[in-house]
Amino acid sequence: MQYINDSLAGKKILITGGAGFIGSNLALYFQKYHQAKVVVFDSFRSEKTFSNGHFKSLGHFKNLLDFKGEVIVGDITKKEDLARLESYGFDYIFHQAAISDTTVMDQEAVLRANVNAFKDLLDLSVRTNAVMIYASSAGVYGNSPAPNSIGSGEIPENVYGFSKLMMDNLMQKYLACYPNLTIVGLRYFNVYGEKEVYKGKTASMILQLGLQALSSKKVRLFKMGEQKRDFVYIEDVIQANVKAMESKKSGVYNVGSGMARSYNAIVECLKTDLGDFAVEYIDNPYSFFQEHTEANIVLTKEFLGYTPRFSLEVGIKKYLGEIKAIHASGLWDEVVTL
């Protein structure tokens, strides 16, 4: 579905992290519905891993097989790589590149990639007067009580959430210095949907539970599965990004479905299509585990014109075709054992 009327003919769009889950969906959205020139900038997957065994960057060329725009391989933490972007004169920057893995404990690496690089990209947007739309996160709310609203309970519990809060603070400083610049931060909640498979173990619980159900007719949940999250389908996240291009007001906005749903509810949605399967409830080994997140989206509706279109039921139903194909191809085992 096309979210804004502007054809964007003659416009230049940069998508950092464009080989990742959300970035690649965004790149293919613009290719399908608009005439802008789209450039993807991403470090792509290398063999480098963090101490938790996960890949340092999760972008994958297969997310971009249908992409006809330009691809630049580069690292946002390297000034010489960012220098490649200087001559384009971008009109819009969608900044998705980040260490997106919330379990990475290397504070230096997370803050360098997520905060320092954002400052360099903000400077680029100042120089070319580009609209900057960047990915923040519900991680900024830590374990604060839901519903989560902009400006309250911003107490991150890990360095990832802290890095996103620092990005949001930096954005406010730039807005104070450059009031004519448009900068929109989007605090995504739990995003799920097509093209997330290459995130492996950091992919959504919807993908992971769907694959467990398909392969072993049993899923495992932390007791008693009633922890609630705001799960938001990828198409709604794309909608928020695209509508942010015509935002009535710079600032930071929550992007969720606006409804908290439990892990048990995911199981019920999966059973509707896959038939019955067993649920094993296991002890939760994590002392810190969010019990309840829910995006307050009043401001997102008012200033971005955002209206989520996918309930958990409808989102999962739409996504199940890809989940079944991933299962049938054996791709998941390949991704997680690499």
Q: CB of residue 30 vs ligand NAD: minimum separation in angstroms? A: 16
Nearer to ligand NAD, 59 or 258 (CB): 59
Check whether the bond before 147 is cis (ω within 30° of 0).
Answer: yes
- What whole-number distance in Å separates Cα of residue 94 and Cα of residue 14? 6
118 binding ligand NAD? (CB under 6 A): no
Q: Which stretch binds ligand NAD (CB under 6 A): 28-36, 96-104, 147-155, 167-175?
A: 96-104
Nearer to ligand NAD, 81 or 273 (CB): 81
Assign 101 to helix, strand or coil: coil
Pick from 135, 206, 214, 259 the residue near ligand NAD by CB under 6 A. Answer: 135
Residue count at the site for ligand NAD (CB under 6 A)? 27
Q: Which residues, other chains included, contact 90 with Cβ-Cβ below 8 Å and sequence gap of 6+?
A: 12, 13, 14, 39, 124, 125, 128, 130
Q: CB of residue 63 vs ligand NAD: minimum separation in angstroms? A: 8
137 binding ligand NAD? (CB under 6 A): yes
Pick from 58, 104, 115, 219 the residue near ligand NAD by CB under 6 A. Answer: 58
- What whole-number distance in Å separates Cα of residue 137 and Cα of residue 258? 15
Q: Which residues, other chains included, contact 139 with Cβ-Cβ below 8 Å and sequence gap of 6+?
A: 102, 156, 157, 158, 160, 161, 164
- What whole-number distance in Å separates Cα of residue 315 and Cα of residue 278? 22
Q: CB of residue 21 vs ligand NAD: minimum separation in angstroms? A: 3
300 binding ligand NAD? (CB under 6 A): no
Q: CB of residue 98 vs ligand NAD: minimum separation in angstroms? A: 3
Residue that is written with structure tokens 């609630």 in the block: 228
19 binding ligand NAD? (CB under 6 A): yes
Rg (CA), the chain: 19
Assign 304 to helix, strand or coil: helix
Check whether the bond before 224 is cis (ω within 30° of 0).
Answer: yes
96 binding ligand NAD? (CB under 6 A): yes
- Of residues 155 through 214, those in contact with ligand NAD by CB under 6 A are 188, 190-191, 199
Pick from 3, 26, 42, 221 the residue near ligand NAD by CB under 6 A. Answer: 42
Q: CB of residue 199 vs ligand NAD: minimum separation in angstroms? A: 5
Contact at 8 Å (CB) between 326 and 194? no
H-helix or E-strand containing 276? none
Residue that is written with structure tokens 């710079």 in the block: 250
Q: CB of residue 97 vs ligand NAD: minimum separation in angstroms? A: 4
Beta bridge partners of 60: none
Residues found near ligand NAD in the complex (CB under 6 A): 17, 19-23, 42-44, 57-59, 75-77, 96-100, 113, 135, 137, 188, 190-191, 199
